[in-house]
């Protein structure tokens, strides 16, 4: 039997809605998390795009890179943890229906 839908689209509507909601929530957190600059602790509005992306691609200062990586993942990761765990459950459901 051929399946007309693959991936998350094969989920029942309620689960697909949950999947889309989780993805959107995680993207909002991922793109909205802000950190403080490495040597300017009162400049705390650095966002992933364009600030952190620029720092990670151009800086050669190990301490600045480490600060940026650790702080961003501490901030965004903590907020995304619950959503990520729920997304894993939904993706396991996707694997079963495909």
pLDDT tens track for 62-93: 999 999 999 999 999 999 999 999 999 999 99
CB atoms within 10 A of CB 88: 11
State the Cα–Cα distance between residues 88 and 73, nearest whole angstrom: 19
The reported pLDDT for the residue numbered 3 is 58
The reported pLDDT for the residue numbered 1 is 44
pLDDT tens digits, one per residue of 16-58: 999 999 999 999 999 999 999 999 999 999 999 999 999 999 9
The reported pLDDT for the residue numbered 92 is 96
């Amino acid at each position: 039997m051929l399946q007309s839908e693959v991936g998350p689209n094969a989920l029942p509507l309620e689960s697909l809605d949950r999947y889309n909601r989780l993805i959107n929530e995680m993207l909002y957190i991922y793109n909205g998390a802000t950190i403080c600059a490495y040597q300017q602790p009162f400049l705390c509005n650095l966002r992933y795009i364009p600030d952190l992306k620029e720092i990670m691609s151009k800086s050669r200062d190990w301490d600045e890179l480490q600060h940026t990586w650790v702080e961003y993942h501490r901030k965004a990761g903590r907020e995304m943890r619950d959503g990520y765990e729920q997304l894993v459950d939904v993706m396991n459901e996707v694997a079963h229906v495909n």
